[in-house]
Amino acid sequence: MCLAVPCKVTELLPDQRARVELDGLKKDISLAFVGPVEIGSYVILHVGYAIGVLDPEEAEKTLALFQELEAQPPP
Amino acid sequence: MKRPIAGAITLAHGAGGRASHQLIQEIFLFHLGNPFLQQGDDGAVLDLLEPDSQGGRWVTATDAHVVTPLEFPGGDIGRLAVNGTINDLAMMGASPRYLTAAFILEEGLSLALLDRVVASMATAAKTAGVPVVAGDTKVVERGKGDGMFITTSGFGLLPAGIQCGGSHAKPGDAVLVSGTLGDHAMALMAERNGLIFDPPLLSDTAALHGLVADILTPRPSAVHVLRDPTRGGVATVLNEIAQQSGVAIEIDESRLPMRPEVTAAAELMGLDPLYLANEGKVIVICEATDADSILLRMREHPLGQQSSQIGQVLASSRPFVEMRTHWGGRRLVDWLTGEVLPRIC
Amino acid sequence: MKHHAEYRDPEAAERLLKRIHQSVDPSREYRFMEFCGGHTHAISRFGLHGLLPPNVRLIHGPGCPVCVLPIGRLDMAIALAMKPGVILCCYGDTLRVPGSAGNSLQKARAYGADVRMVYSATEVLTIAEQSPLNEVVFFAIGFETTTPPTAHLLLEIQRRGLNQVSVLCNHVLTTPAIRAILEGPDQGPRLDGLVGPAHVSVVIGSSPYTPLASDFQMPIVIAGFEPLDILQAILMLIHQVNEDRHAVENEYTRAVVPEGNQRALMAMREVFETRESFEWRGLGSIAESGLRIRSSFANWDAESRYDLSYQTVADHKACECAAILRGHKEPLDCKVFGTACTPETPLGACMVSSEGACAAHFTYGRNLRNFR
C-alpha cells in the first residue's frame, strides 16, 4: 500500500500548500500534516499530501550503511 | 465469450490489453474473420490488386480516434488521426499515399475548435506528403459523442521485397525502440492530474514513414517486424509479437529510453511506463547483425535520436515477454489487465 | 531522482545480496512476512525473489487495503454510485474490484453511474464546488498512510459547510491486523520475522510495533520500498533471527521516528474513532481494526446519511485467500490460481489488486518456476 515518493519543496504556496519537484516534474500539494518546511527540503508525498519530512542526515547514514558492507567481515 | 452474448462494453475493452484482445477475437474476428484480419498486423496487403510495375503492392489500414481532451500539449485529435493511419501503413513497410477521414461531431462542439483540428490535420497531411482524398461528416445529438470522433483510412504502396509482420520475429533478433517512452500518455494526463511539466511535456505524435524508410534501406530483409507502441504501450506490442511469432522476448530495464520527468510522473502515479501509450515511436525487430547499423541510421533521423536496443528475441515453447530489472532480477511483462489506472497503493 | 536512484544502486544491491547469502544458516529456513502490499509489489516488480537464497522465504501479508476490503463494503459504494444525482469519487485502485454479482464501480459507470476517479481527496472539494446540486460521496480506503488526507477532507467540508459531500469510511489499522495474523490459528510453519510498512510508519511511528515484538517474540524491521531498503531489512531480520533477538528496528530512519507524525495522528483522532470490530476479506472480523467517522461529523458520514446496510458476502468456495493472507499457503497452492482466478477475473482478495500476493505472482512472477 501507500505509494509515496520523496519530492523536493521548491516554493511555498498559500493555504498550507507547496510546489514540489521530482526530476523536472512539478506538483502542487498540501502541507497540512507537516507544518513549516524549508525550500529545498524533501517531503514524502502520498495522494497529494506531504505525510512526513525526509531527514537528509539519516538518509546519508542509511546510504553509508549500504556502502560500508564491503568493509565488514561476515559474522 | 459464451454465446448468446451478454454484458456491456467497459473502458477496459479500449485499453489495448487482454480485454481488447478478447473483444477482437470473440466478436470481430468471430464474425468477420478472414486471412487478412487473422494475421493481426497493422494493415492488410490488397493482393487482388495488381502489383505496380516495380512489384509494389497496395496496402490499406484504418484507425478510429477518440481522445480526451481533443486538444493537448503537442497535438490534437486531428493530428493523431492523420499520423496514426500513416504509421499503420508505415509499420507494414509501406509508403503512405492516400488518406480518407470520417468525422462524427457532437452537437454543441465549438466550430472554432473544429476549425483548429482540421487545420492541424491539413498541416500534418501536408508535412507527411499524404493527401486526404475522401471524407464524410455526421452529427450526433448533444450527449452522444464526446465532442468529436475521427476515423481515418489509408492506402500505401508496399515495395517488393519488404515483408514486415508480427509473425516474423526470429530467435536471436534484436529489439530496438526509436526513442523515449510514455511521453504521449503523460502529456495527456498532465493537466487532469495536476502534473506540471516545465517546459510543458508534449505528445510525441509524429508521422514515422520517413524514419521507417531509413530503417528499411539498404537491407529490408533484415527488418522482420515494425510496430508502433500506441495504446497499451511497449508491453502490449511485445506480447502481441511474441504470440504471433511464437517466441519469447527479453528486454533490459536499464536500456529503456525515458525522459526523467516522465519516469518521475509514472512513479508518482503508480503507473508502469511499459504500458503507457506512445504516438511517435517505433519498435524494430531485426537481425542481430544489422542492429548496430540500423541504430546508427535511426539516430541520424530527427525522430530517432534516442534510439536504443532494448532487448532480444529468444526461442521458447510458449510466448512470453520478460524484463531483466536493474539488478539482474527478472519479472514477467504481462498483457495489460484492465486499463492503465493510477494507484494509491 | 534524488532519494530514489541511490537506493537502487546495482553494485550496492549485489553487495547486500552477497551479505545475505553469507549470513544465512544453511540448515534452517527463514520465513519473513512483508505485511505491506507495497512491499509485495516492489519485490515482484524489482524481481527480488529469484535473487535471495532459497531458504529465505518471503510471505506476502494482508497489507493491501483494496484486497482486504470486504465485498459487502464495496457493494455499499456501488449502491451509492447507482443512486441518481450521486457523484461517487474513488481512488483508481478500487475501480475494477468486483463486488457481488460481478458488479464493480467501473461497470456501474458503464451502466450510467457518475463515478469519478481522483488522485487526491482534495479533488473531491473541487468536484463538489463544480456540481453544487449533486451529492458527492468519497469512497475512502487505505491504512494509516491514506487516513490523514480523508481526515483533512472531512475537516475542510465541515469548515466550508459543504453539506452535500459525505465520506464512506473504510480505513483500516495496521497493528491490529498484524496482531490478528500472529495470533491466528496455527495451521502452518511459524513466521520468523516481519517486514514493516515504511509509509504507514511515517504516520504512526515505530513505537506501536514494540508490544508486537515482545508479545510474539517477533523480529520486526520497518523497511522503505526501494530495493536496497528491502534487502537491508531482510539482512537485519536474518541477523536478529541468528542472534535470537526480537526487537523493532527501523531501516527507514530517513522518515520514520518513534512517535510518528503527531499532526496527522491528531487530525485522525479528531475525526475518527475505532470500530469495535471490522470485517476483513479473507481474514474475518478483527477487533478494533477499522475506523469510523465520529458522531460530531455524522453530517458528512455516508453511513449515517444514506440507508445502507452491510451484508457479508462469502468468497468463492475454492478460494484459499484466508490461508494465503496468513502466510500458510502460497498462490500456487490454490486450485483456482491462474485458471478461474486471474487478475482479469479475480475470485478472491489476493488477486484483486496488483499488490495482492496472487496478482503479483501472476503478473510478475509466474515465469519464475521455469527458472528455478
The DSSP result for B222-239, as a single string, is GEEEEE---TTHHHHHHH
pLDDT in tens, C122-137: 999 999 999 999 999 9
Does residue B10 belong to the interface with chain C, where contact is any CB pair within 8 Å?
Answer: yes
**Cell triple for C313:** 458476502
Q: What is the pLDDT at residue A1?
A: 52
Task: Report the pLDDT averaged over residues B250-271.
Answer: 95
Q: SS3 for C159?
A: helix
Written as one letter, the residue type at C138 is: F
Residue B338 predicted with pLDDT over 60: yes
Does residue C92 belong to the interface with chain B, where contact is any CB pair within 8 Å?
Answer: yes
Chain C, 251 to 270: residues with Cβ < 8 Å from chain A are: 251, 253-256, 261, 263-264, 267
CA distance C199 to chain A (A): 6
CA distance A32 to C149: 9
**Of B220, B240, B242, B221, which Cα lies nearest the Cα of B231?**
B240
Q: Which of A8, A25, A26, A46 to mutate to test the interface with B (most CBs of B within 10 A)?
A: A25
Q: What is the pLDDT at residue B328?
A: 72
Residues of C in contact with A30 (CB under 8 A): 122, 149, 152
Residue with cell 539516430: B299
Chain B, 253 to 292: residues with Cβ < 8 Å from chain A are: 259-261, 263-265, 267-268, 270
Nearest CA in chain A to B201: A25
Please give the distance of CA C61 from its chain centroid, rounded to a whole number. Answer: 9
Specify whether the CB–CB gap between C352 and C74 falls below 8 A.
Answer: no
pLDDT band per the 50, 70, 90 thresholds, residue B21:
confident
For B344, which of A3, A24, A26 is closest by C-beta distance? A3
**Helices C227-242 + C10-23 axis angle, to 10:** 20
Which residue spans within chain C are E strands per DSSP?
A: 30-36, 56-63, 86-91, 114-118, 135-142, 165-171, 193-197, 220-223, 248-250, 272-274, 277-280, 284-287, 291-293
ipTM: 0.91
CA distance B311 to chain C (A): 17
Task: Report the pLDDT averaged over residues B191-195.
Answer: 89
Does residue C91 belong to the interface with chain A, where contact is any CB pair within 8 Å?
Answer: yes
Which has the higher per-residue pLDDT, B156 or B35? B156
CA distance A4 to A43: 10
Q: SS3 for C355?
A: coil
Q: What is the pLDDT at residue C45?
A: 80
Q: What is the pLDDT at residue C372?
A: 29
Nearest CA in chain C to B265: C1
Residue B341 predicted with pLDDT over 90: no
Residues of C in contact with B323 (CB under 8 A): 47
Residues of B in contact with C362 (CB under 8 A): 334
Residues of B in contact with C46 (CB under 8 A): 325-327, 329, 331
Those residues of chain A whose CB sits closer than 8 Å to some CB in chain C are 1-6, 8, 22-23, 30, 32-35, 42, 44, 46-49, 51-56, 58-59, 61-63, 65-67, 69-70, 72, 74-75
Q: What is the pLDDT at residue C222?
A: 97
Does residue B123 belong to the interface with chain C, where contact is any CB pair within 8 Å?
Answer: no
- The answer to whether the CB atoms of B196 and A26 lie below 8 A apart is yes
**List of chains touching A (3+ CB pairs within 8 A):** B, C
Specify whether the CB–CB gap between B245 and B170 falls below 8 A.
Answer: yes
- The answer to whether the CB atoms of C263 and A35 lie below 8 A apart is yes
CA distance A22 to chain B (A): 6
Specify whether the CB–CB gap between C90 and C117 falls below 8 A.
Answer: yes
For A5, which of B196, B198, B267 is closest by C-beta distance? B267
Q: What is the pLDDT along chain C (372 residues), one digit of tens a residue?
A: 678 888 888 889 889 999 999 999 999 999 999 988 889 888 888 888 788 999 999 988 888 898 889 999 999 999 999 999 999 999 998 998 888 888 899 999 988 999 999 999 999 999 999 999 999 999 999 999 999 999 999 999 999 999 999 999 999 999 999 999 888 776 666 899 999 999 999 999 999 999 999 999 999 999 999 999 999 999 999 999 999 999 999 999 999 999 999 999 999 999 999 999 999 988 889 999 999 999 999 999 999 999 888 888 888 888 898 888 887 888 999 999 999 998 888 888 888 887 788 988 888 777 654 432
Does residue B269 belong to the interface with chain C, where contact is any CB pair within 8 Å?
Answer: yes
Which has the higher per-residue pLDDT, B118 or B12? B118
A-B Cβ pairs (cutoff 8 Å, strict): 47
Percent of chain B with pLDDT over 90: 70
Task: Report the pLDDT averaged over residues B108-123.
Answer: 93
CA distance B231 to chain C (A): 18
Taking CA atoms, B304 is separated from B123, B127, B176, B336, in Å, by: 21, 17, 11, 26
Task: Report the pLDDT averaged over residues B177-196.
Answer: 95
Chain C, 164 to 223: residues with Cβ < 8 Å from chain A are: 197-200, 202-203
For A52, which of C1, C7, C255 is closest by C-beta distance? C255
Chain C, 20 to 39: residues with Cβ < 8 Å from chain B are: 37-38
CA distance C351 to C321: 9
- The answer to whether the CB atoms of C3 and A46 lie below 8 A apart is no
Does residue C82 belong to the interface with chain A, where contact is any CB pair within 8 Å?
Answer: no
Task: Report the pLDDT averaged over residues B185-213.
Answer: 95
- The answer to whether the CB atoms of A23 and B264 lie below 8 A apart is yes
Q: What is the pLDDT at residue C370?
A: 40
Phi, psi of B105 (to 5 degrees): -110, 140
CA distance C343 to chain A (A): 18
Nearest CA in chain B to A26: B196
CA distance C167 to C256: 29
Q: pTM value?
A: 0.91
Q: What is the pLDDT at residue A18?
A: 97
Which has the higher per-residue pLDDT, B90 or C283? B90
For A3, which of C15, C19, C38 is closest by C-beta distance? C38
CA distance C318 to chain B (A): 23
- Evaluated on CA atoms C225, C149, A8, C209, the torsion sign reads negative
Helix (H) and strand (E) counts for chain C? 16, 13
Nearest CA in chain C to A6: C3
B-C Cβ pairs (cutoff 8 Å, strict): 107
Task: Report the pLDDT averaged over residues B79-97.
Answer: 96
Specify whether the CB–CB gap between B298 and B178 falls below 8 A.
Answer: yes
Q: What is the pLDDT at residue B203?
A: 97
Cβ neighbours for B129, distance < 8 A, ≥ 6 positions apart: none
Specify whether the CB–CB gap between C153 and C159 falls below 8 A.
Answer: no
Specify whether the CB–CB gap between C74 and C94 falls below 8 A.
Answer: yes
Q: Which of C3, C127, C172, C363 to mutate to test the interface with B (most CBs of B within 10 A)?
A: C363
Does residue B250 belong to the interface with chain C, where contact is any CB pair within 8 Å?
Answer: no
